[in-house]
Structure 1
Amino acid sequence: MRSERRAGRRSLPVRQARLATTAVAAAVATATVLGACGGGGGTAEAGGATAPATVPELTDEPLTLSFIWFEWPPAQALEDFANAEYTKERPNVTVEVNTVPNANWHDAMFTQFAARQTDFDIAILDSQHIGEAVTNGNIVELTEFIEGNIETDAFDPYLLAAYGQYPQAETGKRDESASMYGLPLLGDTWTMIYRKDLIGDEPPQSWDEMIAVAEQCQADNPGVSGLAFHQANGSDAAAVTYNTVNGLYGGNLWDAASRQIDGVLNDEAGHRAMDVLVNEMKPLTAAGSGNWFIDEVNAAVAQGKACIAFNWIAASGGLLDPEQSTLGATREEILDTLGFATLPTQETDLVPLGGMGMHVSAYAAAEHQAEALNFMKWFLQEDTQKKWAAAGGVPSRTDALESPEFLEAGPFNQVYADSVSRMRDMWNVPEYARLVDIENTSVNAALNGAMDPREALDTIAVEQQQILDSSGSGGL
């Protein structure tokens, strides 16, 4: 039965807006649910729901706790882990992690949010989605619940802020007086993947050195590209790549206090970063790589076609599977060939913050909201986080990050632990989806030769500034 259920929901369709009569019924149901969950509003303007200080009484009836995420290995890992471990505590509960293609992820959630009715109980949001969900009243405020049920001192403060706080904090910090709307599910950042047999055991230490090493490796190994990285015009692929290079060369995405992008993003450091990306890094990539994202980069590494690559740690586990790799017949043989390291530094040591948090849908039924709160409380306990780490997850509790269960589970896990203090996020504002679409489009165009890189960055800055100036909303 489990396999049949999964086969039937591998591609979750985006829910269309309901008929007016259904919308009225949903509104009545929502009002009832919000009352059961404490009612009121996490934000006065949005009228969002607020979770109670303790987990409400749970049902003993069969219940399916439903998540929504995008299609990648951690989604299946979460479902398998929850049904193996959470059901020991709650045998009447089945956990389902419904998935959509990454490019459809935002719209699949927010189309349902707009209809004020969701077929998921827990939305797994990118950190930058939080502002939009909060201002629209789509997710439940968890501030009081977290204070009474979560050991906040056990987490790096910035991870709590990045995956749950709104308005967002300055990079690396948390504002303990701010409201919380989510909790960490999966931490992540980029790892540098390199061919030890081609460039040696010691990874490059600076970005400039990395480019030089990749260029030499490509020249010495016909048919192998020097670099493989995300370039696609979809999700946040090309934008994250540019933002990473921007940060390493000393650039800034904006001035959050003044909400100024034009003149900040496209200053001297920003243009230098775009020049490095387009004119130094792009020539070292394979033909046809202009639309590559996670899977394509992994395929290039696994097939031995890249000297150095960059990918999200949580998506890198398959690289060690001999059935997916041409680099060795065993995990050990593959690890003799591949190395994993933190990103090289340059003017700074910044790395991209990845990962996602768990957020309770304001439109889920009361018993489902209660189960979601109970799941979060259970999931973030020390023993659960260590089991999640051993199962292939990337935990956010410091004790789990420093545990043998995590550090010995994969060769890239130490990379994540060493990268937490270096992380920088994007703009965490309700306008995020429009901002990232602008950036993806123009960065991808510059990488593919359709725009001059200087023109592309100036276009991004001007168009993003217009979005912020026209909206006038707050939040960092």
Structure 2
Amino acid sequence: MRYPRRIGQLAAAALLVATSLTACGGDDGGTAGAPKAPADIPELTKEPLTLSFIWFDWPPAKALEAFANAEYTKERSNVTVKVNVVPNANWHDAMFTQFAARKTDFDIPILDSQHIGEAVTNGNILDITDFVKKNIDVNAYNPYLLAAYGQFPQAETGQRDENASLYGLPLLGDTWTMIYRKDLIGETPPATWDEMIAAAQKCQTENPGVSGLAFHQANGSDAAAVTYNTVNGVYGGNLWDSKARKIEGVINDAAGQEAMDVLVNKMKPLTAAGSGNWFIDEVNAAVAQGKACIAFNWIAASGGLLDPEQSTLGKTREEILQKLGFATLPKQKTDLVPLGGMGMHVSAYSSPEKQAEALNFMKWFEQADIQKKWAAAGGVPARTDALSSPEFLNAGPFNKVYADSVSRMRDMWNVPEYARLIDIENTNVNAALNGAKDPKTALNDIAKEQQAVLDSAGKKGGGGL
């Protein structure tokens, strides 16, 4: 579709110029060729238009499509929203293969927080800094959530650099919740990680056929790496020194080694046989089938656990909740939890009218009342007022867990080399969990190989920090 010539021609031309900067490798001040979106939303087309997202295949993707087509169309009746999904393991490549071709069949890519650096450096998404200043109340968000889902270069965890550019806005917040069998380990969840391991051991011993723990171990996406990083955090470790771009000697220091020992030698023995490739769906299945005492999973993926058609724990939601409890992660030396969730961005290669529609959708989506409706529909909002709203807190027993976890979150490295770093860590943590590598060797290999990636990028002038 095209803009109506007399009304939208200038706005369309502005976006076309911005997009052409990317194709020509233009520069917006040092972060490669990310083209700038206009501060004001261009005139929107009145012709039928399909606004396409790309995400991985999980319940929030289906919820987003249903929600947008029910609510956004009240404002834009000519627009249909389509959320295209791919397997989680293919998510990154499905987007960046098209980015590399400088032609996308999606208008709004949903990027993991760590994908932003790669997309910005390659000029794949629009710089929406001016748009945000004009249209979004940035004070409505926890500063770190706004930074995590859109800012590049990234600030230190828990901080936002108001002078840094924004390339996206929050779509879905997330973190891990601890899921525990109240009928097997008691109503009160373990308070520390060590207590959790002890409770899982006792539960496994007393309940043959039920494993003490269920958690992500797969060598795909960020599964095994997030598990290790979570344990690393609660035992006082660090993934890297971001200012010095140093990984070797940091992730594999004494705290890092203790965390790997806990994961491989204390937690892994409490998991089910054959669980070495488990991720989101497998953990949920173990919980729903009553085969795990304690499990860890992303909050946004936990809704199905309350569905009687998917569970053997009860014939109603209420019966299931008599057996299942949801709690924030136990503390140990620190109280850190993993930051999950994703932001939405605008493809630099979409047509001008679709880029305009994407900006309008983002402005609409981030409104307070829409965020509360999104929460009621099963989404995890990022706005502070929506997080504390009855619509969110009453929508699921795990939602308060997220609200209570926001101040505890820690993210990974937000650099263009993220995809290579995560692959190194996934491969080695998975190998340690499955007995293919000694835990200490695996962690030292992670440190050495990741450091080589950062050093190589630094020599090329890359890195983004």
On whether the aligned pair clears a TM of 0.5, the verdict is: yes
What interval of TM-score do these two structures reach, taking the shorter chain for normalisation?
over 0.9
The C-alpha deviation readout for 1:158-185, integer Å capped at 9, x for no partner, is: 0000000000010011000000000000
What is aligned with 1:261? Answer: 247
Contact kept, 8 Å, 2:51 with 2:354, in 1: the verdict is: yes
Q: Measure how far apart 1:37 and its partner are.
A: 7.0
Q: 1:3 — aligned with what? A: none
5 Å-filtered alignment, 1:273-284, equals: 273-284=259-270
Confirm or deny that 1:353 pairs with 2:358: no
CA distance in 1, matches of 2:32, 2:162: 21
Name the structure 2 match of 1:176: 162
1:236–1:440: 8 Å Cα contact kept in structure 2? yes
Whether 2:213 is the aligned partner of 1:227: answer yes
Q: Indicate conservation of the 8 Å contact 1:33/1:364, yes or no.
A: no
* Structure 2 residue identity aligned to 1:475: G
Counterparts of 1:271-350 in structure 2 under 5 Å? Answer: 271-350=257-336
**Matched residue type, 2:318:** E
Q: 1:104-137: per-residue Cα shift (whole Å, max 9, x none)?
A: 0000000000000000000000000000000000
Per the TM alignment, residue 42 of structure 1 is displaced from its structure 2 partner at its CA by 3.9
TM superposition shift of 1:474: 3.2
AA in 2 matched with 1:256: S
CA offsets, 1:367-399, max 9 Å, x none?
Answer: 000000000000000000000000000000000
Residue identity opposite 2:86 in structure 1: V
Q: Which residue in 2 is equivalent to 1:60?
A: 46
Which residue does the alignment assign to 1:375?
361
- Report the Cα distance in structure 2 between the residues aligned to 1:201 and 1:38, rounded to whole angstroms: 59
**For residues 417 and 184 of structure 1, what CA distance do their matches in structure 2 show?**
15
Q: Which residue of 2 aligns with 1:159?
A: 145
Deviations, residues 136-169 of structure 1 (Å, cap 9, x unaligned): 0000000010001001100000000000000001
User: In 2, distance between residues paired with 1:130 and 1:316?
Assistant: 26
Match of 1:94 in 2: 80
Structure 1 counterpart SS, 2:345:
strand
- The equivalent residue for 1:35 is 17
Question: Equivalences for 1:174-213 in 2 at 5 Å?
Answer: 174-213=160-199
Distance change >3 Å, CA 444–CA 86, structure 1 → 2: same
Gaps of 5+ in 1: 1-29
Alpha-carbon deviation of 1:47?
1.9
Determine the structure 1 residue equivalent to 2:441: 455
| Secondary structure in 1 matching 2:359 | helix
- Which amino acid is 2:197 matched to? I
Alignment-mate amino acid for residue 74 of structure 1: P
Percent of pairs with identical residues: 80
TM-score normalised by L of structure 1: 0.92
C-alpha distance in 2, partners of 1:469/1:273? 25
Measure the CA separation in 1 of the matches of 2:55 and 2:376.
Answer: 21
CA distance in structure 1 between the aligned counterparts of 2:156 and 2:150, rounded to whole angstroms: 14
> 1:437-467 CA deviation, whole Å, 9 max, x = no partner?
0000000000000000000000000000000
- Residues 144, 444 of structure 1: CA spacing in aligned structure 2 closer, same or farther, 3 A cutoff? same
Residue 101 (structure 1) shift: 0.2
Residue 475 (str. 1) matches residue 464 (str. 2): yes
Structure 2 portions without partners, runs of 5+? 1-11
Alignment match of 2:116 (pick from 130, 136, 142): 130
8 Å CA contact retained: 2:175, 2:298:
yes
TM-score, normalised to structure 2, is 0.95
Q: Could you tell me how far apart the structure 2 residues matched to 1:255 and 1:45 are? A: 21
SS of the aligned residue for 1:360 comes to: coil
Aligned-residue Cα RMSD (Å) equals 1.3
Which deviations, in whole Å up to 9, do the C-alpha atoms of 1:69-115 show, x marking residues without a partner? 00000000000000000000000000000000000000000000000
